[in-house]
Amino acid sequence: MTPFGEAVRRLRAERGVTQREMAKALGVSPAYLSALEHGNRSEPSWQFIQRVIGYFNIIWDEAEELQKLAGLSRPRVTIDTSGLSPKATEIANRLAGSIGRLDEAALEEIGRLIDGASGGEPGGSL
């Protein structure tokens, strides 16, 4: 599941909406919505994100957070380390090889390290 898919599933559950109902309202198939929630589709388009925001009547910070989560929801990621240090390439390859074995605590710690190193904002919790 992707961060965007998890947020959509949670929003549906909070509002008592089925995938079929939401898919019909958004003009997509239930299979597409299911695949998007489970991370079997690529990052959703800007237009689709806007339809989801409108469907759930999400405003301001929550809408911005949902857009941010969509940008963090590419299930197949490529890391280009050309021009970076050998250590960067090593770390990228080690992470790719071990990501499936890391537990949530380890993933949280890696996220904190990345946020601290880049000065970025920590991941949200829409």
Domain positions in the chain are 3-71, 78-126
In this predicted structure, what is the pLDDT of residue 34? 94
Q: Using one digit for the tens of pLDDT, what is the confidence trace for 21-34? A: 999 999 999 999 99
pLDDT of residue 121: 57
Residue 7: Cβ-neighbour burial (10 angstroms; 0-12, 13-18, 19+): buried
Q: Mean pLDDT across the stretch 32-51?
A: 90
27 with 91: CB under 8 angstroms? no
Q: Are 26 and 48 in contact (CB under 8 A)?
A: yes
Q: Is the dihedral of CA 13, 76, 70, 117 positive or negative?
A: positive
Q: Per-residue pLDDT tens for 76-120?
A: 888 999 999 999 999 999 999 999 999 999 999 999 998 888 776
Does domain 3-71 match CATH 3.40.50.150?
A: no
Is residue 74's pLDDT more than 90? no
In the predicted model, what is the mean pLDDT of the chain? 89
- Average pLDDT of the segment spanning 28-45: 90
